[in-house]
Structure 1
Amino acid sequence: MADRKPIELAEGWSFMEKGIQKLIRLLEGEPEDQFNAEQYMHLYTTIYNMCTQKPPHDYSEQLYSKYRDAFNKYINEKVLPSLREHRDEVLLKELYQRWGNHKLMVRWLSRFFNYLDRYYVLRHSLHPLKDVGLLCFKDLVYVEIKKRTKDGVLLLVEKEREGELVDRALVKNILGIFIELGMSNMDCYEKDFEEYLLTETSAFYRRKASQWIEQDSCPDYMLKAEECLRLEEERVDNYLHATTRNKLLKEVETELLSNYETRLLTKEHSGCAALLRDDKTEDLARMYRLFQRIPKGLDPVADIFKEHVDSEGMKLVKEVTEAVELAKEKQAKTGPSRDTGTSAEQQYVRAVIDLHDKYLQYVSTCFCNSSLFHKSLKEAFENFVNKSVAGSTSAELMASFCDNLLKKGGSEKLSDEAIEETLEKVVKLLAYVSDKDMFAEFYRKKLSRRLLQDKSASDDHERSLLSRLKQQCGAQFTSKMEGMVTDLQLAKEKQQHFDDWLKEKGSKLPIDLSVTVLTTGFWPTYKSIDVALPREMVEGVEVYRSYYDSDSKHRKLTWIYTLGTAVLRGNFDSKPIEMQMNTLQAALCMLLNDVDELSYGEIQERLRLPDDDLQRLLHSLVCAKYKIIKKDPDGKSIGKSDKFAFNNRFTDKMRRIKIPLPPLDEKKKVMEDVDKDRRYAIDAAIVRIMKSRKVLQHQTLVMEVIQQLQRMFKPDLKLIKKRIEDLIQREYLERDKDNPTLFKYLA
């Protein structure tokens, strides 16, 4: 077979040019038939042949160059002139049209010249044909037109921001050209478009914000800001590249939020404080959503929240203090009445619970349970809850509040569920109280009274509160209280045992006797008075003592008569009346059974009571509501020369009455006990720390002591210093000879 005659470059290229012209006419929309398969094959084969001829007829290199020239010629003759005569949106439409045509041309020509791609390009590591086509467009069209294109796009973006409808698809398509011409990186899009977009965005919102901040209220401004951010996000979804999202939003956030944060939050009638004051929860939630977007944007909001909660709390403290003072003044003028002070203080704890509920709700709903706002709430409550309210501490008021909830006939008439819920809330509040040990001591005193006087409304509620306190403050906090509750159960069993023992012995006491045996360590310390009891009582005490000694070895009974109660029958002229009273009151009344009259001195001699206690007893039976005993001379105070006799003319509409003893001031005693316990706790902490560390600086030791004890109380620095001195004297520690601020542990 004869060799095929080689195709010369000029001949071959003139054939290819015809094909290229046909393609251009098709692209330009001029009348022209589509390529058929035969024409396509002919063009492809021509290139193939010209590239596979033996040298010097291998025209691969020249064809690669002519391929590029074909694009450049088309661009210079057709594309650029058509683009130069347009601006703005018309330009964008024309550009998109031209870009589409160009890509079609690349697709067709790279098919015709396919053989070059497969061999020549690979062998010489050149740009693939598709890229050559794109580069021609980039070097000739893009470079000339990119600025006007960018301006056209930004104009449409601004129109849309001002509320006009624009051709979003067109914008997306144009930005697609910037991305595609980046040839697998984002350089063109970022440098030639995005940078300008961000600058324009910043300027646009700067203008808007400066108008809005003057004319709008804080809520209105925030609504606009939120809507702008939403629309910018929408813009990204509709036509910008996803990588622009954060950069774009940052510009908007800076201009609308960061730059005006202080002015916005402190606007006089509509800023953050006003929104809190007027309970605008929706606006507050929006404020949180917006300002969490900017660095440290929530800190000032949290500070204003803290100040607001604190001032609301301080307002309560002030109101209650004033109400109590007013009640005292009124009492001083009109004489004793119902204890309004206590009820105001009860209302205070209830109001603090409501306040906590309200702002905890704010934290969870408006502020998305943010730890920053939980911290603000905590600090605000810690501040005002530890202030003195009408001379009382919150620890004392909370203990009284719980007592009122848990005792029979308390002023809070609530269902079981409501009581449980309220107890849980009080325990939550206790977390803010720095003197938890003070609460424990007041609460223990009141618990003891409820238990011993059978005033507790429900064992379940008592145990429930103890388990909550145990969870919140640890097992040590409630161990004594739990011991008290258990003691009472055991005391009931012991009483039953005693009654059975009496039956076995066949003994009968002159009086009905019921004894409650308590474990010393669990209960508050009570004053033990060695009173001389009437003979009927003495017999009961002696019998019980012999029972107890036979039943419990190595245990000593101490009788606390001040806590006992007795029921006496008073045979008055009008009718007999049953009287429930304190054991000591009963002992005093029974002295008057055998004699007509006794002097102050004789009563004191027979009962062997100190003056204070005797005065209190006589006052409760002579001068108070129920005047069971009359005195000579008459009067409201007890004198040592007075004489006392049974008041047989006394009467009352009830058949059974309860005669109270004036309450002692427990507060002072609690304070003393707490101070004593604190000294022990500080000593124990110092010794514990020094034992493990052996040598320690004064400052470090103090800090560690505070850290160990702050769960229960805030130790006073002077007291810690005093305790260290005391431990040095008692030779637990010594000062370093060369450095007086350094302590050593002495084993």
Structure 2
Amino acid sequence: MQRLSMVICCKMNQNRWRLVNWLYEDIFEKPYLETCGERYKVEASRLLQECNVGQYLENVWQRLEEERQRCSMFLHDSSLPKVRARFVQHMVTDHLAFLHGECRTMVQQEQCKNLRTMYLLLRLVDNGISVLVSELLEHIKAKGLEAVAGLKGENVYMQFIENSLAVYDKYRGIINDVFDHDQSLLGSLDKACSFVINHRQVPKQPCRSPEMLAKYCDTLLKKSSKGLSESEMEEKLTKSIIIFKYIDDKDVFQKFYSRMLAKRLIHQQSQSLDAEEAMINKLKQACGYEFTNKLHRMFTDITVSSDLNNKFSEFLKKDRTELGIHFFIHVLQAGAWPLGQAALTPFSLPLELEKSVQMFENFYYNHFSGRKLTWLHHLCQGEVKLNYLKKHYMITMQTFQMAILLQFEKSNSLSYSELQESTQLNSEQFSRHIASLVDSKLITCENEVPDETSVFSLNLNYSNKRTKLRITAALQRESPQEVEQTRSSVDEDRKLYLQAAVVRIMKSRKVLKHNALIQEILSQSQVSFAPTINMIKKSIESLIDKQYIERTPNSADEYSYVA
């Protein structure tokens, strides 16, 4: 009996709520929404006639807030979304074409206050901010290209990176403050920055952004970067990763960066090894361990070389051998360091160094069997003490420069041919290094421009305010040939990478359609670079010729792996 009474009570309550809902929704809410809709139409029409777009947006946003407060005070909670939908329909959606038409002017003039209100209203409409997103994208593109166009001078790379970062910081700030970190608008910033940074002034020439970013990092990490504290350098390097993430050809950056890092480490030009390692870790976080594997191995070689030199010193003590000079050697893995054999040139080692080289080779081959040492004299340097002047000078110079200068040990004047014959350097290398010694005024030349008929003399009146200095002109600047060589090596690496990717994919999948293979290759290679379809096709054809893969008999656009 009690259960029956509870059921009857529940049914009565349900009927009562249905009656209340009917009374509220049909008798009151529907007429109220209709009346509100008409009022919103009239009000929108009046505001559009009386106000400019900025005033219209401000009035609409204020009016929406008033409606929200009124609903919360006098209406049931269920009515608020319905009133708001009517308001947005008649005050925003019905005039969407007009509002979208004003977006371009607001974005171009960067009217942050109006853009803020525009954004708040447009996001209430499905896909309402799409035009705002596209207009912001085009605006950032234009401002970005304007910031990096027409740059001149030796420090173009510094201007390019810092101007690009200034554009990024400005519009990232606007998106955060005005558009509430909206992901669609952040996406437009990313697309615009990627477009600007990978833009090619001359379409057929390669993009120079990777090279310029590598030079920018090189300048920050070198000892010569003056006026920067450790915290400022760290901040700039951290910001440089922003540009790095937008670069398409990350493998080009890696090639230039590794070459510059090698020079800094070999010539002891790094301002801080901790900063160097921190930068490599930043790159690893952005691109993964594989990208920085060789860079880490370069650091390992420097550490191992230090231990090796200590063992060599102990070996000399046990052998009771005096070298007569302070000798320090770096043993570097050929596979990790971007040094190559192309720069090797004939060279006759000075007598002062022959004993040291011979003793180190004996020591090394006794400790490591099956290894081969290749001496890269063009990367070596030495410290020479000048004792023939009123003051003693300590000068750091490249080995080739030192070899030339040591020829004046027994004679104050020597001819071009005598010096070249004694050093065995080719004409290009010899002329380059003899010119650097003349420019530094350590030796003098009777001709204004040194040539094969010139006679060179030791400058016995040499004077300098500093007693310790470095001649770097011949080894620090990258020649156009080196830049071209770097880009050529990138092209070769890409061919090998694509062929390896094709074999790896086909070995896993066995049979694959042409388009599916292309997509998988693009997916795998996007971390380092963006290959063209033509480049991928050439790699596939090359592997077919080498019989790694073959076309299936039944389909022209399908490949199978040849086991």
Instruction: State the alpha-carbon separation in 2 of the partners of residues 669 and 723 from structure 1.
Output: 22
**Coordinate RMSD, CA, aligned:** 2.8
1:288 aligned onto 2:101: no
Q: Which residues of 2 match residues 661-740 of structure 1 at below 5 A?
A: 661-662=473-474, 663-665=477-479, 666-740=482-556
Corresponding residue number in structure 2 for 1:348 = 160
What code does the residue aligned with 2:159 have? Q
Corresponding residue number in structure 1 for 2:419 = 603
SS in 1 for 2:306: helix
Change (3 A) 1:635 1:345: same
1:561 aligned onto 2:377: yes
Corresponding residue number in structure 2 for 1:470 = 284
Pick one of 192, 216, 219 that aligns with 2:51: 216
Instruction: State the alpha-carbon separation in 2 of the partners of residues 664 and 414 from structure 1.
Output: 24
1:612 aligned onto 2:428: yes
What code does the residue aligned with 1:295 have? D
What code does the residue aligned with 1:302 have? V
Q: Which residues of 2 match residues 451-530 of structure 1 at below 5 A?
A: 451-526=265-340, 527-530=343-346
Corresponding residue number in structure 1 for 2:355 = 539
SS in 2 for 1:414: coil
Instruction: State the alpha-carbon separation in 2 of the partners of residues 385 and 425 from structure 1.
Output: 14
Change (3 A) 1:269 1:308: closer
Q: Deviations over 1:449-468 (max 9, x none)?
A: 22112121222222211112
Q: Deviations over 1:226-263 (max 9, x none)?
A: 11111222222222333222222111111221222342
SS in 2 for 1:739: coil
**Residues 592 and 646, structure 1, Cα contact 8 Å, conserved in 2:** yes
What code does the residue aligned with 1:361 have? G
Change (3 A) 1:695 1:270: closer
**Residues 631 and 642, structure 1, Cα contact 8 Å, conserved in 2:** yes
What code does the residue aligned with 2:57 have? M
Q: Which residues of 2 match residues 566-605 of structure 1 at below 5 A?
A: 566-571=382-387, 575-595=391-411, 597-605=413-421
Instruction: State the alpha-carbon separation in 2 of the partners of residues 297 and 221 from structure 1.
Output: 17
Instruction: State the alpha-carbon separation in 2 of the partners of residues 206 and 585 from structure 1.
Output: 86
| Cα distance, 1:743 vs structure 2 | 2.0
Pick one of 56, 62, 65 that aligns with 1:230: 65
What code does the residue aligned with 2:520 have? E
Instruction: State the alpha-carbon separation in 1 of the partners of residues 98 and 354 from structure 2.
Output: 81
Q: Deviations over 1:282-341 (max 9, x none)?
A: 5433333222211111222222222222222111121xxx231xxxxxxxxxxxxxxx33
- Per mean C-alpha deviation after superposition, the further-off stretch among 575-584 and 649-658 is 649-658
1:385 aligned onto 2:213: no
Corresponding residue number in structure 2 for 1:435 = 249
Instruction: State the alpha-carbon separation in 1 of the partners of residues 521 and 115 from structure 2.
Output: 41
Change (3 A) 1:397 1:590: same
Larger Rg: 1
SS in 1 for 2:281: helix
Corresponding residue number in structure 2 for 1:303 = 134
**Residues 596 and 646, structure 1, Cα contact 8 Å, conserved in 2:** yes
| Cα distance, 1:656 vs structure 2 | 3.1
Instruction: State the alpha-carbon separation in 1 of the partners of residues 299 and 17 from structure 2.
Output: 81
SS in 2 for 1:639: coil
Q: Deviations over 1:39-59 (max 9, x none)?
A: xxxxxxxxxxxxxxxxxxxxx
**Residues 363 and 370, structure 1, Cα contact 8 Å, conserved in 2:** yes
What code does the residue aligned with 1:535 have? L
**Residues 359 and 377, structure 1, Cα contact 8 Å, conserved in 2:** yes
Instruction: State the alpha-carbon separation in 2 of the partners of residues 498 and 291 from structure 1.
Output: 74
- Per mean C-alpha deviation after superposition, the further-off stretch among 385-394 and 586-595 is 385-394
| Cα distance, 1:514 vs structure 2 | 1.4
TM-score, with structure 2 as normaliser: 0.89
What code does the residue aligned with 1:323 have? L
SS in 1 for 2:445: strand
What code does the residue aligned with 1:301 have? L
SS in 1 for 2:394: strand
Corresponding residue number in structure 2 for 1:376 = 188
Percent identity over the alignment? 28
Instruction: State the alpha-carbon separation in 2 of the partners of residues 573 and 512 from structure 1.
Output: 22
Corresponding residue number in structure 2 for 1:88 = none
- Per mean C-alpha deviation after superposition, the further-off stretch among 681-690 and 212-221 is 212-221
Corresponding residue number in structure 1 for 2:221 = 406
**Residues 217 and 267, structure 1, Cα contact 8 Å, conserved in 2:** no
Pick one of 323, 334, 348 that aligns with 2:151: 323
TM-score, with structure 1 as normaliser: 0.68
**Residues 148 and 164, structure 2, Cα contact 8 Å, conserved in 1:** no
Change (3 A) 1:429 1:653: closer
Give the number of aligned pairs: 545
- Per mean C-alpha deviation after superposition, the further-off stretch among 706-715 and 392-401 is 392-401
| Cα distance, 1:546 vs structure 2 | 1.1
Change (3 A) 1:743 1:600: farther
| Cα distance, 1:542 vs structure 2 | 0.6
**Residues 532 and 606, structure 1, Cα contact 8 Å, conserved in 2:** yes
| Cα distance, 1:598 vs structure 2 | 4.0
Pick one of 177, 183, 186 that aligns with 2:21: 186
What code does the residue aligned with 1:502 have? L
Corresponding residue number in structure 2 for 1:635 = 448
Q: Which has the higher contact order (CA 8 A, sep 6+)?
A: 2
Change (3 A) 1:185 1:604: same
Change (3 A) 1:503 1:232: same
Instruction: State the alpha-carbon separation in 1 of the partners of residues 360 and 65 from structure 2.
Output: 84
Change (3 A) 1:472 1:509: same
**Residues 616 and 661, structure 1, Cα contact 8 Å, conserved in 2:** no
Corresponding residue number in structure 2 for 1:72 = none
